[in-house]
Amino acid sequence: MLGWELPPHNSGGLGVACYHLAKALALQGTTIDFVVPYSAKHENIDFMNIYNATKLSPLERYGLGAYDSKFLIDKKDATELGGLKNIRDVQRHYTRYIERHIETKNPTYDAIHAHDWLTMEAGMRAKELTDAPLIVHVHSTEFDRSGGGHGNPLAREIEYQGMIMADRILAVSEVTKRIIVEQYGIPADKVEVVYNAIDTTSFDDGYEYDRHTYRYLESLKEEGYTVISAVTRLTIQKGLSNLLYAVAKASSKYDRIALLLAGDGEQRDELISMAADLGIADKVFFTGFVRGKQWRDAYSVSDIFVLSSISEPFGLTALEAAHHDTALILTKQSGVAEVLHSIFTYDFWDVDRLADQIVGIATSHALQSSLKKNIMHEYARLSWDDVAIQLVGMYSTVQKRSVVPV
Amino acid sequence: MSKRGITLYLHVHQPHRVRDYSVFDTAVDHNYFNDSDPLSGTNNERIFHKVADKSYRPMNALLQKLLDAHPEFKVSLSITGTFIEQAEAWAPDVIESFRNLINTGRVEIVSETYYHSLAFFYSQTEFEAQVEAHKNKIRELFGVETSVFRNTELAYNDALAQWADQYGFKGILAEGWDPILDWRTPNFVYQPEGTENISLLLKNYKLSDDLAFRFSNRDWSEWPLTTDKYLEWMGSSYDQPLINLFMDYETFGEHQWADTGIFDFFEEFVSRWLSDENHTFYTVSDAIDKNKKVGTISMPATVTWADAERDLTAWMGNSMQQEALKHLYALEKDILRSADLELIADWRKLQTSDHAYYMCTKWFTDGDVHAYFSPYSSPYDAFLYYMNAIRDVRWRLHAHHNTGGLSG
């Protein structure tokens, strides 16, 4: 399995998904060699073998950007990083590592499973060298990351080649499958939808919400305020300016609302001044990047969680929010909306509708509590074990197909 | 005819910078101003010690030396309440050295708002309360009265002058800005529009800024500035009675470091100016007493001593600054009614104009980054920390005094 990150060295949902996927597969009896592009300990992982493709620290790999191909040119001194000055260098190094690994160890793999564009070149090379079928798992495309635009042509080209060379493509949602078919011209029958899931046991670590971290917001709630949140990277893909417009609009109808933006990103400054321009700076709270308790408390303090993405392949945060007892509003362009029912949805550009939904939930206790209650029954059904069973079945069919003589 | 005089006026100020006060501190930790991190740019104590060593101690020693050596040497100072509080806490010897200067009888203290605030533009009552607080503090600490007024950042308009006139001040200070003066020069005493008794002293910004901004600038065509050159420029207005040099006190040693030669330059310049028996120095009161008003000046719109625009846009120009100040001043009634002295003091410390200045984004458009100083990594950070502090003030009102709501 070729990946770019695993917890706790992840900068987002990709690492979380890979971790749970691999863990559930191992439970089904699959043996996994997982390659990451950095060197670090993963003390919480004993169910698979982890290989480190470079000597970079996870932090340096963060700096190079796990998601954002705009970080292609990094300003850091190349010699400091052993000649790996940008993400392309790391990718090349990663691919060479895979080549050496296969040449020296001569392993027999039943399948090569590569996650996202970052590892697709290595995946193609591994397929070439081992003759094992290549499965390309698409968690996000360059189309998504650029907020629905063309994005970086190089990343797009790698994605295209990877998907052409793949024996099977996995998309994390119908939304993503449609992008793969429409934007990349891949035949639909080559693409299978495999939804992400949530491992609720991973939340059982003795966490209890104590109303202390966001004490001012808790005071606002005592005053009758409704707290809306987004836990996200502050980046164009996430559609946060529309969320701000909607909150401003909703405030003009009903002013007891506050917005918590938990996360960081290149759009932060723009959003701060936009909130001031809209006259709602006082209602918007920026936390910066949060982890651990502050991260979970960001969900817990919220009444409403909004996933405002312009294009969201899946959107694991919505399930995490649901676990912490929030009402969900998701864009129709978010994959996770396909597997949930007790939610509000809106088109990412439809500010009026979002504002309307916010005011509706904020002003109706009955609506808010039934949304929270009903989603509880839904999200937990999405199990990684089911995903693993689906994948094991798929591995065996691609294998059979690949032994057909050419 | 009286002697030709320099009115040297220096402004002494330090704000209580807000530490990196996050949403996680809000409603939990009410300490906004004390940053214990020794490396932090918002550690007020550390900054005070640094500036005291570089500027306040050496410059006061030099002023004392000049006062002792030259009976004609005089200087006027405005010293903010926020500066005095920090000096009392961390450098009482600096207060003592100011007291020694004042005791010569040739150092005048200029009146202003205690908190170096822009309250005049938001609340007349709060503004007057701060002027009184400053008068009281100066009286209590130095045993002197103030009779000439300067507003924060030299922000001046006709309405302010009319207020100061009614309030009983004999003089007021403003920028001598060319578009207002037109053919007139700042080197006379004027009368503000619509006033009865008060006199207006205008800053000679060219000669002031030669020291304050350009002295060490090697790209300046006149660099290095010599006393010969400076005296020669002053001589070109030989037929005019005043040269008003108004600037930040910290020009000496902090904005212009000792190694630029600013202290030596100043000492030599004072001696050489006074070596001509027709030359003298005035305090701001002397300048008014010894010179007749030659005409009326009107500034309906606010003029400051900042930037090429000479307006308030560096403090109130963008929406973040406007929002922050709006929410701050909206608390006035509830804060004062609480009678909670700590809370009132914290709220007033947040009025210091520097906080709004740190949120200025002007330089993004005019590219003049180096003209601005901020302890924060961006104006957006300054805004976030400040808003969180305002929310906490609001929370304290609400939690401890059952007044006000949490919504702004």
pLDDT, one tens digit per residue, over A301-346 is 999 999 999 999 999 999 999 999 999 999 999 999 999 999 999 9
- The answer to whether residue A242 scores a pLDDT higher than 70 is yes
CA angle B286, B290, B294 (to 5 degrees): 120
- The answer to whether residue A75 scores a pLDDT higher than 70 is no
The residue ranges of chain B whose pLDDT is under 70 are 1, 364-372, 408
Q: Please tell me the distance in Å from B364's CA to the nearest CA on chain A.
A: 13
Which among B23, B325, B359 is the top mutation candidate for probing chain A, defined by the most A β-carbons within 10 Å of its own β-carbon?
Answer: B23
Chain B residues near residue A272 by CB distance under 8 angstroms: 320, 380, 383-384
Q: How confident is the model at residue A134 (pLDDT cuts 50, 70, 90)?
A: very high
Name beta bridge partners: A261. A230, A286
> What pLDDT is stored for residue A398 in this prediction?
87
What mean pLDDT do residues A153-161 have?
95
Instruction: State in Å, rounded, how far the first CA of chain A is from the last one.
Output: 26
Residue B67 main-chain phi, psi, to 5 deg: -65, -40
> What pLDDT is stored for residue A234 in this prediction?
95
Q: Which fold has domain B4-297?
A: 7-stranded beta/alpha barrel (3.20.110)
Q: Give pTM, 2 decimals.
A: 0.83
- The rounded distance, in Å, linking the Cα atoms of B403 and B408 is 13
Nearest CA in chain B to A216: B27
Name which of A73-77, A79-83, B121-125, B200-204 the model is least confident about: A73-77
Reply yes or no on whether B126 is catalytic: no
pLDDT tens track for A204-215: 889 999 999 999
Q: Identify the active-site residue in B108, B112, B126, B153.
A: B153
Nearest to A223 among B319, B378, B405 (CB): B405
| Domains of chain A, residue spans | 13-197+383-402, 202-379
User: Which residues, 6 or more positions from A366, have their beta carbon under 8 angstroms from its beta carbon?
Assistant: none
Contact between B319 and A225 using a beta-carbon 8 Å cutoff: no
Which of these, B277, B265, B351, lies nearest to B315 by C-alpha position? Answer: B351
- The answer to whether residue A135 scores a pLDDT higher than 50 is yes
Mean pLDDT, chain A, integer: 90
Rounded to a whole number of angstroms, the CA Rg of chain A reads 22
Q: How many contacts (CB atoms, under 8 Å) link A and B? A: 74
Cα within 13 Å of Cα(A133), Cβ side: 18
Name beta bridge partners: B296. B191
Judge whether A13-197+383-402 and A202-379 match in fold: yes
> What pLDDT is stored for residue B401 in this prediction?
86
Percent of chain A scoring above 70 in pLDDT: 92
Report in angstroms the alpha-carbon separations of A97 from A32, A52, A125, A131, B349. 17, 9, 11, 18, 59
- In the chain, the amino acid numbered A374 is N
Identify the residue with better confidence: A403 or B23: B23
Residue A57 main-chain phi, psi, to 5 deg: -80, 160
Q: What CATH superfamily is the domain A202-379?
A: Glycogen Phosphorylase B; (3.40.50.2000)
Which of these, A217, A234, A311, lies nearest to A271 by C-alpha position? Answer: A234
Q: Please tell me the distance in Å from A304's CA to the nearest CA on chain B.
A: 19
Identify the residue with better confidence: A241 or B307: A241
Any idea which architecture A13-197+383-402 has in CATH?
3-Layer(aba) Sandwich (3.40)
Which among A222, A264, A286, A295 is the top mutation candidate for probing chain B, defined by the most B β-carbons within 10 Å of its own β-carbon?
Answer: A286
Is the N-terminal amide bond of B241 cis, ω within 30° of 0? no
Q: Please tell me the distance in Å from A285's CA to the nearest CA on chain B.
A: 7
Alpha helices in B276-318 (DSSP H): 284-290, 313-316
Q: What is the ipTM of this complex?
A: 0.77
Q: Please tell me the distance in Å from A8's CA to the nearest CA on chain B.
A: 23
Asked whether A40 and A51 are in contact (CB, 8 A), the reply is no
Chain B residues near residue A223 by CB distance under 8 angstroms: 405-407
**DSSP E strands: which ranges in B114-175?**
148-149, 171-175
Asked whether B171 and B147 are in contact (CB, 8 A), the reply is yes
> What pLDDT is stored for residue A65 in this prediction?
47
pLDDT tens track for A186-202: 999 999 999 999 988 88
> What pLDDT is stored for residue A81 in this prediction?
53
Percent of chain A scoring above 90 in pLDDT: 74
Which among A219, A260, A294 is the top mutation candidate for probing chain B, defined by the most B β-carbons within 10 Å of its own β-carbon?
Answer: A219
pLDDT tens track for A106-132: 999 999 999 999 999 999 999 999 999
- The answer to whether residue A80 scores a pLDDT higher than 90 is no
pLDDT tens track for A334-390: 999 999 999 999 999 999 999 999 998 999 888 899 899 999 888 888 999 999 999
Chain A from 162 to 221: CB within 8 A of any B CB = 212-216, 218-220
Q: Given the DSSP bridges, would you call strands A191-193 and A168-171 parallel, antiparallel or unpaired? A: parallel
- The rounded distance, in Å, linking the Cα atoms of B393 and B133 is 21
Give yes or no for A377 touching B (CB within 8 A): no
Please name the helix (run of DSSP H) or strand (run of DSSP E) that holds residue B202, with its range, or none.
Answer: strand B199-203
Nearest to B384 among A219, A283, A286 (CB): A286
Give yes or no for A252 touching B (CB within 8 A): no
Chain A residues near residue B322 by CB distance under 8 angstroms: 276
- The rounded distance, in Å, linking the Cα atoms of A261 and A240 is 9
